[in-house]
């Protein structure tokens, strides 16, 4: 349905035949705020996606229309500035970074639409960046590998848009596999695909509808706190260059000098890395109850030690603990809003969803949005 709407709009605007691309959203099953500490994460691409209809034009102009926002923009591909439309800068940033390296980008027409909720922790911006880089690589035969596309997308986010993103979202967008999470080492980019093709399990997201407006500023603060912690630990253990190198006993020996705040921040990251490594083994050996407990433990750490959760997210976690079909749950994304991710067994017995929605509406006067997602493949052509 989404593809057809985009196709109809494209033909009405540009009167030519487009090529279609899809770029998935993302969830992170476990491993939050470990990425910028060079640690471990476990993301997956999901079947919420952004779709692009694109074609070359015979001008040096990029013409872009957003179906969701009903906004259009036109720019000269040889000479443009940042836009007041924030969403457009994710595409302009890709063009800018490609051209900096001498890659030729000609005129193109694009209509895009998405069913990825914004500010819900599902990486809609990454889907836009990677999708744009992918279709430009295809249209203008740039010869980029998937890894290079991910790197250009990350550069555009960091340098042009000015958001301090990191590689995991871009990586899984380019390399995701159906029914597989990715255990990713954020330092080396070594990775392992962890299959979770279990027909009686489902990943369900609860969108709090609290927008993550504080996330960027708080992310900068958490990064600084982790860096301060590493600087103290490094004085006693020179081999510790970042928190992935730090063992629990090392941290305990530095507890007094770190002080309560830095100790809690570092302790959370170290334990979260261990949860990813041990949790991947749980999934491979079908110890799903053990993995679910790690999800609950992860949320407790995010709430109490890393302090990036908020009351609506904590409420949702406590509510689902009442139901045996929910093996584990945690907030997902940077925090201060967004969604919780729930690992549910026997997902055909979902009467609990309606009950949680009613209680959430009663307490917070907001509708609780629910997304039942499937793990899908990486960005590519729609055929």
- Cα–Cα distance between 172 and 149 in angstroms, integer? 12
The model's pTM: 0.92
> In which residue are the tokens 């079908």 written?
286
Residue 6 has pLDDT above 80, yes or no: yes
Tens digit of each residue's pLDDT (9 = 90 or more) over 132-187: 999 999 999 999 999 999 999 999 999 998 887 789 999 999 999 999 999 999 99
Token readout for 12 is 């009405």
Question: CATH number for the 2-195+377-381 domain, one of 2.160.10.10, 3.40.50.1220, 3.30.499.10, 3.30.230.10?
Answer: 3.30.230.10
Q: Give 348's pLDDT tier (boundaries 50, 70, 90).
A: low
Q: Alpha-carbon distance 202 to 158, whole Å?
A: 33
Q: State the pLDDT confidence band at 199, using cuts at 50, 70 and 90.
A: confident
| 53, 286, 351 from 344: Cα distances, Å | 35, 14, 12
C-alpha to C-alpha distance for 37 and 124, rounded to whole angstroms: 23
- What pLDDT sits at residue 25? 95
| Res 198: pLDDT | 75
Q: What is the pLDDT of residues 203-229, one digit of tens each?
A: 999 999 988 666 677 888 999 999 999
> Are 324 and 372 contacting, i.e. CB atoms less than 8 angstroms apart?
no
Percentage of residues in the chain having pLDDT higher than 90: 85
> Max CA-CA distance within the chain?
69
Where are the strands (E) in the chain, listed by range?
Answer: 19-30, 40-56, 61-66, 71-76, 108-114, 180-185, 191-195, 201-207, 326-332, 339-345, 369-373, 380-381
Question: What does the pLDDT read at residue 214?
Answer: 61
3-state secondary structure at position 141: coil
The domain segmentation of the chain, as residue ranges, is: 2-195+377-381, 201-373
8 A C-beta contact, residue 234 and residue 221: no
Are 167 and 38 a contacting pair, CB within 8 Å? no
The answer to whether 19 touches 126, Cβ cutoff 8 Å, is: no
Query: What local confidence, expressed as pLDDT, does residue 215 receive?
Result: 66
9-14 CB contacts, 8 Å cutoff, 24+ apart: 9/53, 9/65, 9/67, 9/111, 10/53, 10/55, 10/109, 10/111, 13/63, 13/65, 13/72, 13/109, 13/111, 14/55, 14/57, 14/63, 14/109
Helix, strand, coil percentages (3-state) for the chain, rounded to 5, are 45, 25, 30
User: What CATH architecture is 201-373?
Assistant: 2-Layer Sandwich (3.30)
CB atoms within 10 A of CB 349: 11
CA distances to 122, 228, 345 from 157, in Å? 16, 25, 37
């Amino acid at each position: 349905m989404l593809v057809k709407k985009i196709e109809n709009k494209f033909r009405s605007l540009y009167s030519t035949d487009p090529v279609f691309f899809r770029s998935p959203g993302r969830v992170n099953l476990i491993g939050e705020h470990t990425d910028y500490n060079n640690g471990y994460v476990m993301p997956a691409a999901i079947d919420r996606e952004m779709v692009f209809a694109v074609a070359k034009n015979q001008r040096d102009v990029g013409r872009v229309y957003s179906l969701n926002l009903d906004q259009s923009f036109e720019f000269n591909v040889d000479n443009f500035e940042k836009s007041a439309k924030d969403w457009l800068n994710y595409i302009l940033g890709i063009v800018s970074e490609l051209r900096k390296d001498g890659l030729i980008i000609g005129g193109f027409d694009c209509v895009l639409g998405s069913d990825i909720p914004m500010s819900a922790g599902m990486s809609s911006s990454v889907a836009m960046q990677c999708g744009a880089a992918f279709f430009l690589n295809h249209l203008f035969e740039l010869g980029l590998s998937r890894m290079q596309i991910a790197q250009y997308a990350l550069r555009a986010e960091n340098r042009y848009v000015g958001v301090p993103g990191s590689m995991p979202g871009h990586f899984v967008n380019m390399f995701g596999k159906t029914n597989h999470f990715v255990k990713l080492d954020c330092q080396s980019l070594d990775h392992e695909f962890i299959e979770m093709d279990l027909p009686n399990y489902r990943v369900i997201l609860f969108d709090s509808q609290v927008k993550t407006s504080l996330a960027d500023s708080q992310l900068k603060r958490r990064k600084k706190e982790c860096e301060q912690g590493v600087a103290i630990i490094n004085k006693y253990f020179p081999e510790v260059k970042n928190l992935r190198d730090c063992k629990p006993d090392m941290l305990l020996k530095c507890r007094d000098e770190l002080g309560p705040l830095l100790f809690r921040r570092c302790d959370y990251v170290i334990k979260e890395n261990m949860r990813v490594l041990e949790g991947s083994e749980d999934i491979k050996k079908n110890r799903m109850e053990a993995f679910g407990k790690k999800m609950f433990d992860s949320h407790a750490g995010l709430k109490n030690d890393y302090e990036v959760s908020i009351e609506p997210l904590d409420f949702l976690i406590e509510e689902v603990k009442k139901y045996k079909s929910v093996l584990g749950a945690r907030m997902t994304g940077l925090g201060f809003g967004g969604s919780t991710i729930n690992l549910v067994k026997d997902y055909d017995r979902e009467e609990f969803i309606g009950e949680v929605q009613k209680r959430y509406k009663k307490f917070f006067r907001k509708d609780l949005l629910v997304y039942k997602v499937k793990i899908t493949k990486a960005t590519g052509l729609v055929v």
